[in-house]
Amino acid sequence: MLALGLGSILLAACSLADEESLPTQDVVGSIPWTVGEETSYIIMDGDKVKGTGVLRIDQEDSQLRLSQHYQNPDFDDRSSVLVDSQTLKPIEAEREITGDEGVLRIDVHYAGRIAEIERVATDKGGQEEQRIDRLEVPEHAYDTGASLFLWRTIPMQVEYRAAYRSMATAVVGKSQENTVTLRVLRQETVEVPAGAFQAWRLEVRAPSGVKQTAWFAADTARRLLKYDDGQFTFLLENVKEG
């Protein structure tokens, strides 16, 4: 799936092992968005366009639905996470991927310290295969499907570092939870199809050593401008205000 997501000399000197030793914590600082906001992206693989993406925020009663939609000629991938509007802690999640081989539907329900994940794969012939998994939800946990929204809320200041638990539930492979570490490196200028912006550069790491980078606008809205997940790069193309 297309989706994880700033540098002082002091931070540059820290090793990955140092970062992984950070205690996990709740990382939501302040909510910067307006409900109804929709941002659109071009997804690049090097210099080739591989698809498009849309991030959207909607209100559902006292909760928020954080949605993502990615597509290209070969697949359509829609997902969302329903979260508490202030803490962004997950309540439920869903994902549907449609491709040449059929449809994969994933539904996730959080109840206390357990996340129940139901997968239903339907092939082109209409044959279904169902699987149900359960994961224990630790403290300081957020659903991975909310990552690109969650990172907008952290305190954007040089030398900020924090770690939290990420619940990779609505994934194609095996569901799992792990520790994600965030580092705010610096402000820099970013050019995307939507224009040139001052941005906070955020480095994201998981225990596997995989590093991803996200750039958020250095203003009160903190919209995602650019995101490099290690394979594809998202570039902001358009913004629809809420």
DSSP secondary structure string for all residues of 48-114 = EEEEEEEEEEEEETTEEEEEEEEEETTEEEEEEEEEETTT--EEEEEEEEEETTEEEEEEEEEETTE
The helix/strand/coil state of 35 is: coil
Q: Is the pLDDT of residue 42 over 60?
A: yes
Fold of 9-240: outer membrane lipoprotein receptor (LolB), chain A (2.50.20)
200 beta partners: 187, 216
Residue at token pair 């820099």: 188
**Closest listed residue to residue 92, CA positions, set 65, 68, 113, 119:** 65
| pTM for this prediction | 0.90
- Residue 85, burial from CB neighbour count under 10 angstroms (0-12, 13-18, 19+): middle
pLDDT at 7: 23
Instruction: Name the amino acid, one letter, at 15.
Output: S
Mean pLDDT throughout 234-238? 98
Return the H-helix or E-strand segment holding 177: strand 176-192
Mean pLDDT throughout 60-89? 96
For 53, 60, 94, 103, the CA distances from 72, given in Å and listed in that order, are 9, 29, 20, 15
Residue range 75-113, pLDDT digits in tens: 999 999 999 999 999 999 999 999 998 999 999 999 989
> Phi/psi at 157 (nearest 5 deg)?
-155, 140
Q: Give the pLDDT band of residue 172 (cuts 50, 70, 90).
A: confident
